[in-house]
Structure 1
C-alpha cells in the first residue's frame, strides 16, 4: 500500500511538473511566435533571396535542362536552340519576359531588349531555315557564344553571383573568382564608408553621452528629471521631422549660418548641408539618447561610497574615476556603443536627406536596388554581407571590451 502511494505520488508530481513547464511555454509562446514571424523568418527569406535564381529557369525550364549538356563552345546544338525558341514564344504570349530579361540583363547589358526583339520577331510556324539561322537573322548577337553562356550560367536554382557582386567579385569564364572592373567596384568602398561613419558617430555619441549620463546620475531630483525629459523628448518627435528640421537649420540661409555671419565668425555662409558634416550632426542628434540611457542605467546602480572610499584611501579624483568608476560603467558603455553602432549602420533617411552622393551608406543602395532597379538578389546580398559584418564586429567588440565583466583595479 505504501509502495502504491509512493508511486502514485511520483506520478502526480511528474504530471504537475509537466503542466508547469507547459504553462511556462504557453507564456513565452506568443513572444516566440512573434519573433519567428516578424524577425527570424524575414531574415531567413532575405538570406535565401541572396542566392535564389528562379527567373530564367522558370521561364525556360526545358531549355535550361538541355543547355546544361552544352560544352560552352560556339553555339548550342540545334535542338537546344529550337526548344529555346518555342519556350520564348510561350513566355511572350504569357507575358513572362520581364523576369528572365531583367535577370539576364545583370549578366550582359542589353539582354532584356534582345529577348523582347527576338520574341516578337519569331515566326509562328516552323521556319524553313534552321532555328539557329532564324535567331541570327532576327539579331546577330545570337551568333555570339556569350549570350548562350549567360543562359547556361542561369540554369541552376541557386547562384552565388549576387554575393560575389556584393563584394566586387565575379566568376570568370574559366570558373575562377576575380575582381570586377575598376569602374564597377563600388560595394567594398561603400561598406568601408558605412563602417567608418558608424564608428565616428558612435565615438561622438559616446563623448557627448557619457558626461550627460554622469550629470544626470549625480544631479538632484528636479534637475535629474529635467535632464531626463530633455534626453527623451526627441523620441516624441518623428524621425523625418527631426531630419527635416536639421535641413532648415543647416541650410545656407538657415538660422545657424545667419547667426555665424551676424557674429562675424564667418564672412560667408558655410556649407553644412548635403555633406558628411550634416550627416554626422543629424545622426548624432537622433542616436544620442540610445547612448545616454544604457550608460545612465548602469551609473544609477553604482554606489557613491566607492568613490568616497577611494578618496579616503588617498586616490586623486581623476585616478579614482579611472580606476574605480569608469570600469564599473563599461557594461553601459558597451551596450550604448553597440546600440548606436548597429542603428547607425542601417540608417537610411538621415544620410539620404542630409548627405551628398558620396555620403550615402549601404542602406541607401539596398533601397535603390530594391525599388529602382528591382534587383532584389543584389539588395539581399548587400544586406546579408552587412549582417555578417555586424555579427563579426559584435563578437570582436564584446571580446575586447569584456562585456558583462567588471574589473576594478
Structure 2
C-alpha cells in the first residue's frame, strides 16, 4: 500500500497502515507539545514573579494569626461571650495563662503590636501585663488582672480581643478604607482625624490622571510630527524622545530636585521671563513661588519620566495610517482641521488608549519621585506601603493597601474599557 492510499474499508491510511487522521492528530499533538515547551519558561517566570506575589499579597491582607496563636484559651472562651459586660473569672484566668505562656515564649510583643493597631497605646500595657501575669500564682484572676492595669476592666478591650481572635480578619482591608468594626461587629467610619487612607488613594488616582493628561497633551503633537516627518529626520528626533531611557529613574528624579530648588534653574527662568513679576502684580505669589516639594514638581517630574510611554504607542499607530486618507478627505471638501479631527484622530485612538492606560497604571506605583520632589501632601500609596514594610513592619497593612490599589485599578480599567475602550472605538 502506498502512502496516502485508500484501503478497502474506504479509510485513508499511511504507508504503515495507520489511519491518516490518526497520524495527523499525533502530528498536531507533537506540535502543541513543542509550542508548550517553548512557552513554558516564560509562563513559569510569570507565575513565579507576578502571579505568586499577588496571591501572597491577597493572603497576607486577610491572614492575621497573632491573637489566635498567642491567646488561644482566651479566644476560645470569648466565643460564647455576649460582649455587653465584662467576661467572668474563667476568661481572666485564661488571659493570665496565655500571657504567662506568651511571656515565656517571648511572643507577648506580637499580641501588644496587633492590639495596638486598634487601641492606641495598648502595646506597653500588654508588655507590662505579660511580665506581671507571669508572677501570678493563683486566683481570683479578675481582680488581679484589673489591678495590674485598668484596661482589663474595659469591655472594649475584650471586644477587640474577641474580634481579633480569628486567623482571618477584614481588619486591614477595612482600616485602609478608613472603616472599622464596632463592638457589635457592625461597620463604621473611623474618626475624621484618623481617616487618611481614602484621601491617599484619591490623591494617587488624581496625580496619575493629571500626569496622563499632561503626557498626552505633550506627546500627541510630537508623535504626529515624528510620524509625518521624513524618516531620516524622524530617526534623529526619536533619539531625543528615547534619551530619558538612557539614564536611571533615580538620576532623572535627582536632577529635578536640583532644578526645582529655590534659586535653581526654574526659579531663575521665572524671574528672567517676568512670570514672577506678573504673579506678584496679580497677588498670586509673594516673591518667587516655591516649586520644590510641591504637587507641581511631582507632576512635572513624573510627566518627564512617563512621556515616552505615552508617546511611543501613539507613534506606532500613527505610522500605520496612510496619508491618502487625509488627501481623500480634503479632496471631498473637508478643511484641514476638520479632516484631521474627523478622519485622522479617530484612527489614532487605539494608540492613545494604549499609551494613556500604560502611563496611568505605571503612575499608580510611583514611589521614588514623589518621595524626592514632592511634599508631605504629595505622597502616594506606594510611599505608605514602603513605610508599612520598612518602618512599621506591618505586612498586613502593606498587603491591604496593595489589594485596594489593585482593585481600584481593575475597576477603573473596566469602566475605562466600557466607555472608551478599543472595542468601542469607531471611525468618525
1:122 aligns with 2:141: no
Counterpart mapping for 1:61-80 below 5 A: 61-80=72-91
| Residue matched to 1:366 | 385
| Residue matched to 2:64 | 53
| Residue matched to 1:269 | 288
1:112 aligns with 2:131: no
Q: CA deviation at 1:390?
A: 0.9
| Residue matched to 1:408 | 427
1:142 aligns with 2:142: no
Q: CA deviation at 1:15?
A: 2.3
Unaligned 5+ segments in structure 1 are none
Aligned pair in 2 of structure 1 residues 5, 277: CA closer, same or farther (>3 Å)?
Answer: closer
Q: How many matched pairs?
A: 408
1:87 aligns with 2:87: no
Deviations 1:194-220 (A, max 9, x none): 212111111111000000100111112
Measured in 1, the distance between the counterparts of 2:134 and 2:38 equals 65
Counterpart mapping for 1:8-407 below 5 A: 8-9=18-19, 10-124=21-135, 126-127=137-138, 129-266=139-276, 268-404=287-423, 406-407=425-426
Q: CA deviation at 1:376?
A: 2.0
Deviations 1:288-343 (A, max 9, x none): 00000000000011111111111121211111111110000000000011011111
Kept in 2: contact 1:334–1:398 (CA 8 A)? no
Aligned pair in 2 of structure 1 residues 334, 156: CA closer, same or farther (>3 Å)?
Answer: same
Q: CA deviation at 1:397?
A: 1.2
Aligned pair in 2 of structure 1 residues 130, 406: CA closer, same or farther (>3 Å)?
Answer: closer
1:8 counterpart SS class: coil
1:315 counterpart SS class: coil
Q: CA deviation at 1:408?
A: 2.3
Measured in 1, the distance between the counterparts of 2:425 and 2:185 equals 51
Measured in 2, the distance between the counterparts of 1:244 and 1:401 equals 36
Kept in 1: contact 2:103–2:134 (CA 8 A)? no
Of the structure 1 ranges 10-19 and 274-283, higher mean CA displacement relative to structure 2 is found in 10-19
Normalization by structure 1: what TM-score? 0.95
Measured in 1, the distance between the counterparts of 2:135 and 2:276 equals 74
Q: CA deviation at 1:71?
A: 1.9
Measured in 2, the distance between the counterparts of 1:364 and 1:169 equals 21
Q: CA deviation at 1:226?
A: 1.6
Q: CA deviation at 1:258?
A: 2.3
Measured in 2, the distance between the counterparts of 1:223 and 1:63 equals 76
Over aligned residue pairs, what C-alpha RMSD do you find? 1.8
